[in-house]
Structure 1
């Protein structure tokens, strides 16, 4: 696996690590605050960090240079992200991080299914077996028997 700065694998592994930290930090963070307000605080922090990165690296684009289709799908993605975060923080407020996070990661299974259905992505039999194992593993990790 190529783990250079320009590889998707490198950034995916970092994403997984930060997602794990997100669950742990968020679980502690929502202890004494409403989960929706906690999500607002998190969102403001993210906005400030990403704005600083875009400014520091000169990646700002003129709003007029972006197509309407791109705006539409980025807005839809933002709405889905917001809904996901609100639900995730509410689940963390009510449940244990070790149970909530695996169920949240069922998104991996849904992404495979949606990618196949809506984007025409093709997965092999081995890939689908992996998707099924992820689903089964998430349920097993989240269950308290």
Structure 2
């Protein structure tokens, strides 16, 4: 079983890799259409994740998943793809140091959506932190 604090280390690693993603993408999209760049990135992700799932023995028949799982993973995939297209277009025309913080407004929106749709109830302290993130994004994004 995974340590209950283990989520933090995975999330921190995710943040580090997401930061590198913005830097690598900003350099990589020079002279390339942002939509084509997104397609190339996605193809690489498919290859790497396929190899990872196969190597770790985690492959199971996806046709055995429930319709609800398919629906919500499908919606998540559509949202991810649309997000990547928007992110790469923003990186193409904007500074990475401004695009990435605005993209992180997703943190604020996740909290709001989790409150509205998943019944999660952040504490006053947590809402304060979420509000500070929102304020920080606005401070970084606009002069």
State the TM bucket, normalised to the shorter chain: over 0.9
> What runs of 5+ residues in structure 2 fail to find an aligned partner?
none
**1:62 Cα offset (Å):** 1.2
Using the alignment, how far apart are the partners of 2:31 and 2:65 within structure 1?
A: 41
Partner of 1:133: 132
How far did residue 65 of structure 1 move?
A: 2.2
Query: What SS class does the counterpart of residue 131 from structure 2 fall into?
Result: helix
How many positions carry a matched residue from both structures? 141
Task: Between 58-67 and 81-90, report the one with greater CA deviation.
Answer: 58-67
Describe how 1:50-129 pairs up with structure 2 within 5 A: 50-129=49-128
SS in 2 for 1:12: helix
How big is the shift at 1:107? 0.1
Gaps of 5+ in 1: none
Which segments of structure 1 move beyond 6 Å, counting only runs of 4 or more?
Answer: none
Query: What are the superposed Cα offsets for residues 25-49 of structure 1, whole Å, 9 maximum, x if unpaired?
Result: 0001111100000000000000000
Partner of 2:18: 19
TM-score, length-scaled by structure 2: 0.95
Task: Name the CA distance, whole Å, in 2 between partners of 1:74 and 1:135.
Answer: 27
CA deviation string 1:59-80 (max 9, x = no partner): 0111232101000000000000
